[in-house]
Structure 1
Amino acid sequence: MPRSLDGLVLAPVADQAPGQVGTRTRFTYHERDGRIWAEYAGGDVVHGHLVGTRDGDRLDFRYVQLKHDGTTSCGHCVSTVVELPDGRVRLEESWQWESQPGSGTSVVEQVG
C-alpha cells in the first residue's frame, strides 16, 4: 500500500470550472485506520471538508464546500493513490456532484 496521506498537503494540477476547486485550493489530508478526511480552502472555496475511507490505493469519500458567494455544494469522489517517481503522492480522481448537475475527473498532487 502507498504511504499514509496523514499530514500531506495536496493541490489540483489544473483549474476546474469557475466556482470549483482550482490550483489555489489546498487540501490537508488526515488518515487513520482506513479512514480519511481533509479540510480544504482557496480560490472560490472558503471552507471545504471531505470524509471517507481508504482501501489500499482506493479512496472513496463525500465532500461538502462553502463558496465565497455563500452557496454550498456536495458530491462523491473515488480516487486512486499513485506514488510519483520523486516520492510525492498524486490522487487521480473521478467525482460527481450530488447537489447539482455535473461530474468529471481531476488530479491533485502533493505540494513540495
Structure 2
Amino acid sequence: MARSLDGLVLAPVADQAPGQVGTRTRFAYHERDGEVWAEYAGGDVVRGHLVGTREGDRLDFRYVQLKRDGTTASGHCVSTVVELPDGRVRLEETWRWESQPGRGTSVVEQLAADGTD
C-alpha cells in the first residue's frame, strides 16, 4: 500500500471541461483509519469537499463543490493510489456526476516539495 495521503496537497495534471476542477485547483488531503477527506478550491471551484474511504490503494468517495457561477455539483469517484518513482503520490481517478450528466477520468499528483507541479 502506498503511503498515507494525510497532509498531502495534490493538483490535476490537466484541465477538465470549463467550470470544473482544473490545473489551478488544489486538494488538501487528510487520512485516518481508513477514512479520507479533502478540501479543495481553485480555478472555477470556490469551495469543494470530498469524503470517503480507503481500502489498500483504492479510494471511494463522494464530492460536492460550489462553482464561481454560484452553482453546485456533486458526484462519485473511485481512485487508485500510485506511488511515483520520485516518491510523490498520484491518484488515477474514474468519476461520474450525480447532480448532472457526465463522467470521465482524471489524474491528480502530489505537488513537489517546493510547491511546483
TM-score for both structures, normalised by structure 2: 0.95
Structure 2: how far apart are the matches of 1:2 and 1:56? 8
How much identity, in percent, do the aligned residues show? Answer: 88
Letter in 2 for 1:55: E
Q: Who is 1:31 aligned against?
A: 31
TM-score for both structures, normalised by structure 1: 1.00
Q: Who is 1:81 aligned against?
A: 81
Structure 2: how far apart are the matches of 1:56 and 1:30? 16
Where does the alignment leave 5 or more consecutive residues of structure 1 unmatched?
Answer: none
What is the root-mean-square deviation in Å for CA atoms of aligned residues? Answer: 0.2
**Partner deviation per Cα, 1:65-94 (whole Å, 9 max, x = no partner):** 000110000000000000000000000000
Q: Who is 2:115 aligned against?
A: none
Q: Who is 1:55 aligned against?
A: 55
Where does the alignment leave 5 or more consecutive residues of structure 2 unmatched?
Answer: 113-117
Structure 1: how far apart are the matches of 2:69 and 2:103? 21
Q: Who is 1:43 aligned against?
A: 43
Number of paired residues?
A: 112
Q: Which runs of 4+ in 1 moved over 4 A?
A: none
Q: Who is 1:108 aligned against?
A: 108
Letter in 1 for 2:111: V
